[in-house]
Amino acid sequence: MDIRPLVLVLLVCGLAWASNTDLDYGGIPFWINRLLGEPSVVSLRDRMDPSWYRAVNTESCPLQCDCPIQWPTALYCDHKGLNQLPESLPSRTQYLFLQRNKISGIPSGALVNVTRLRWLFLDWNQIHSKDINSMWLSNHTQLVNLFMNHNNLTEVPTGLPSGLRQLRLAYNHIEKISPGAFQNLGNLTLLLLQGNRLKAIGKGDFEGLSSLNLLDLSHNFLDTFPKYLPPSVQQLYLSNNSMTGVSEDSLQDFSSLRYLRLGYNQLQDNGLASGAFNITSLVELDLSHNLLTQTPVVPTTLQYLYLEANLIQAFNVSSFCRTFGPTEYSRMRILRLDGNKLAYHQLPPDWVFCLRVLHHIYV
C-alpha cells in the first residue's frame, strides 16, 4: 500500500486539530520548533482509528499508545484511561504524551529506558507527590519541557534535570517548595505555579533560577507581596491572591520586570507605597479588581495601566506626570478606569498635557 497520500492528509489536518485540543498548557501558549523535529500536535485523539497507526508503522509501540509514522520519536498515550505508565516504552521516545489519564504515581525505574526524553506531558492526571520517586528523572539530561498541570502534587518535585526550560505545575495542591527544588535549574525560563496553595515564599525557595523569565503565582494564598523572587523575571503574575499592599522595596531587586499583574487582590491606597512601582522597565501594570480609591503613582514610562473595577473617585494627574514639559509626559497608551466611581467629565483639564500619546482611555 502506498501510504504517502494518507500521511499528507494527516499533516494538513494536524494544523486544524492542534487548535481545538482540550489541553490548555496551564494558560500560557506553547511554541513548537519544527526545525528541531518537534511534533506539531500534542494529541491524536479523534483523528484516525488507532489501528491505522499500527498497520502502517512496523516499529514497536506499547499497546496503550499510538505511534504515528511521521513523528517516529513521539509516543501518544493520552486520553487512554491509563492508571499507570505503559510498560516497555521504546527507547527512541523523545516526546511522550500522557495527559488526561488516571495516573497517580511514577514508580522508580518506569522511565529508565527513555533517557532521550525532551518533552513529558502529564497534565490532567492524579499524581501525588508521595508517589514519585525522587530519582525519577535523574538521567534525563535532554528533558526541556515538563508539564504536570492539574495533578494532585502537594510539593514541587525534586531531582529535576538541569536542562529543563519549562516547568508547568499549575492547578495542583502545592503548599510548599521543597528546599533546593530549583537549585540546579539555571536554564529554566518559565515556571507556572498558579492555582496552588502557597501562603508565602521562603528565602531559598527559588534559589538557582537565574534565567527565569516568566513566573506565574496567581491564584494562591499569598497575603503579602512575596520577597525572594528571582530578579531576572520579566513577567510576574500575582493575580487572585489576597495581598493588601506593595511596599517601597517589593520590586526594587528586579532588573528587567516588564509585565506585572496584581488584579483580583485586596490592594488599598494606604498599602501602596508612593515609590512602589517606580521602576522604569515596567511596560504593563494590572491593578484591576482591587480596593483602590485613588489613582496610584506610576512611572512616566509605563504604557498599559489597568485600574478597572476599583473604587476610584479621583483622577490625580500627578499619578502619571510629576511635571509637564517637552520631554516630560506620560508614555501611557492604554488606560482603563472603567468600573470605578468616576465619570469622564471629572477628569481635570490638564490631563491631555500629561497623557499625550494615549490611544485609548476607558472611563
Ligand X SMILES: *[C@@H]1O[C@H](CO)[C@@H](O)[C@H](O)[C@H]1NC(C)=O
Q: Return residues touching ligand X (CB under 6 A).
A: 87-89, 104, 109-110, 112-113, 126, 135, 138-139, 152, 162-163, 187, 218-219, 239-240, 264, 274-275, 278, 297, 314, 316, 318
Contact predicate 163/141, CB 8 Å = yes
Q: Which residues of 199-225 are buried (b: 16+ CB within 10 A; e: fewer)?
A: eebeeebbbbbeebbbbbbbbbebebb
Cα dihedral 105, 198, 156, 28 in deg (nearest 10)? 90
CB of 44 to ligand X, least distance (A): 22
* Closer Cβ to ligand X, 32 or 112, answer by number: 112
* Closer Cβ to ligand X, 144 or 229, answer by number: 144
Cα distance between residue 129 and residue 111, in whole Å: 17
Q: Can you tell me whether residue 35 is helix, strand or coil?
A: helix
CB of 189 to ligand X, least distance (A): 10
CB of 88 to ligand X, least distance (A): 4
* Closer Cβ to ligand X, 32 or 314, answer by number: 314
* Closer Cβ to ligand X, 42 or 321, answer by number: 321
Q: Exposed, middle or buried: residue 34 (CB in 10 Å: 0-12, 13-18, 19+)?
A: exposed
CB of 89 to ligand X, least distance (A): 6
CB of 43 to ligand X, least distance (A): 22
Q: Can you tell me whether residue 119 is helix, strand or coil?
A: strand
CB of 224 to ligand X, least distance (A): 19
* Closer Cβ to ligand X, 14 or 90, answer by number: 90
Q: How far is CA 49 from CA 76, 89, 178, 325, in A?
A: 13, 21, 43, 69
CB of 136 to ligand X, least distance (A): 7
For the chain, what is the radius of gyration of the CA atoms? 24
* Closer Cβ to ligand X, 174 or 177, answer by number: 174
* Closer Cβ to ligand X, 10 or 94, answer by number: 94
Place of cell 495516573: 103
Neighbours of 315 (CB within 10 A): 21
Cα distance between residue 73 and residue 120, in whole Å: 12
First to last CA, the chain: 66
